[in-house]
Structure 1
Amino acid sequence: MKALIAAELLQTLKEEGLYLLNEVEAIGNHTPLELLEATDGAGRWNTLQVLEHLNTYYRYYIPLIDRLLEKSTDPARTHFQPGWLGGYFTKTMLPQQGQVKNKMKAMKAHSPTAELDKEKVVGEFLQWQRKFLLMLEKARQKDIQAIRVPISIASFIRLRLGDVLMFITAHNQRHWVQIEQLLGRLPVAIG
């Protein structure tokens, strides 16, 4: 993968993050609980479970990345060169033409239960998403290539911060497609 202009990358990730924040706020404010708890098949996740799945990743990554940003003394570089492994992880996560082509099974630590509280799950996601957006702003002042982040499923693997931020965004996009499909397939409540 070719080098990217770091400021443009972070701006793109911020725009994606703002879009998701606004969409989930709207879902939280306007979507009945019955729709958020409905699935599109036996053993499949509902919208709340998808959001809780994203919360599990944020619980790991945001506090960790915040600490790493605070400790970093390396100033921002103009360009960011994605690593081969980080680029691969991001590419496998990204939806293609609005579809998730390659299905993956979530790790046990990231698999939510079916019984979830709407206000708690949506509220927590919105808090994390706002923190993620603030973190992207902090990252503008740091070298997102020099900071190494241990990944949640195998802490001995450390990726460049820029790769982790791209992966988180791709993972969010992947699950946003899932939420759109879930809510789009279900009948709209009237009244």
Structure 2
Amino acid sequence: MKPINSSELLSKLRAKSLFLLDQIENIGNHTPMELLEMNDGMGRWNTLQVLEHLNTYYRYYLPRIETLLEKSATGPNQYFKPGFLGNYFTRTMQPRNGRVANKMKAMKNHSPSPELDGRLVISEFLQWQRKLGLLIERSENVNLNKIRVPISIAPFIKLKLGDVFAFIVAHNNRHWVQIENLLERYPVTLTL
């Protein structure tokens, strides 16, 4: 894995995060709640469950990242070198050509309830998404290779901060494809 310019990486990740923030703000403001509660099959998630799933990751990762950034004494580094495991996780999450190739089952602690308060889920997601953008921006001043973040499914495994940000954004991209597919299924009532 070749080193990546740290500033360019963070800039791309922040841009993708801002895109998703804009999309979900539009959906929250202009899409009927009934549409957000519709799924595309028995046992499948609706849009609100997808957002709640993403909230579960944010609840775990963002407070930890914020604490690590506050405690960090590292200075910025010009290049980030993805780790083997972090790069693997990111690649497996990232959709290809607008499609999710490999389906995965969510871990139990990241599986959303079917009974959700839609406004609360969207509001929480938007707060976390803004926080992600700010944390990515703050990371311009630290070494993305040196700060290590424990992963949610096995906290004894720690990934480089750059890999965790790349994973979170790839995971978000994956679920954005899922949301797009859900909302395209019922386009009659969608007014973005």
Tell whether the structures are fold-level matches, with TM greater than 0.5.
yes
Aligned pair in 2 of structure 1 residues 189, 7: CA closer, same or farther (>3 Å)? Answer: same
Return the alpha-carbon distance in structure 2 between the equivalents of residues 188 and 156 of structure 1: 47
**Deviation (angstroms), 1:187:** 3.9
**Other-structure match for 1:66:** 66
Runs of 4 or more off by more than 6 Å in structure 1? Answer: none
Q: Which deviations, in whole Å up to 9, do the C-alpha atoms of 1:40-99 show, x marking residues without a partner?
A: 011000000000000000000000000000111010100000001000000000001000
Aligned pair in 2 of structure 1 residues 153, 25: CA closer, same or farther (>3 Å)? Answer: same
User: Is 2:89 the partner of 1:92?
Assistant: no
Supply the AA of the counterpart residue of 2:16: E
Return the alpha-carbon distance in structure 1 between the equivalents of residues 189 and 83 of structure 2: 46
Supply the AA of the counterpart residue of 1:39: N
Give the SS at the match of 1:143.
Answer: coil
Q: Which deviations, in whole Å up to 9, do the C-alpha atoms of 1:15-64 show, x marking residues without a partner?
A: 00000000000000000011100000110000000000000000000000
Return the alpha-carbon distance in structure 2 between the equivalents of residues 190 and 46 of structure 1: 15
> Share of identical aligned residues, percent?
61
Return the alpha-carbon distance in structure 2 between the equivalents of residues 125 and 82 of structure 1: 27
Give the SS at the match of 2:13.
Answer: helix
Structure 2 gaps of 5+ residues are none
User: Is 2:57 the partner of 1:57?
Assistant: yes
Structure 1 gaps of 5+ residues are none
Return the alpha-carbon distance in structure 1 between the equivalents of residues 160 and 60 of structure 2: 16
Over aligned residue pairs, what C-alpha RMSD do you find? 1.0
Q: How many residues get paired?
A: 191
Q: TM-score, normalised by structure 1?
A: 0.98
**Deviation (angstroms), 1:116:** 0.7
Return the alpha-carbon distance in structure 1 between the equivalents of residues 114 and 155 of structure 2: 28
Aligned pair in 2 of structure 1 residues 9, 190: CA closer, same or farther (>3 Å)? Answer: closer
Return the alpha-carbon distance in structure 2 between the equivalents of residues 52 and 103 of structure 1: 18
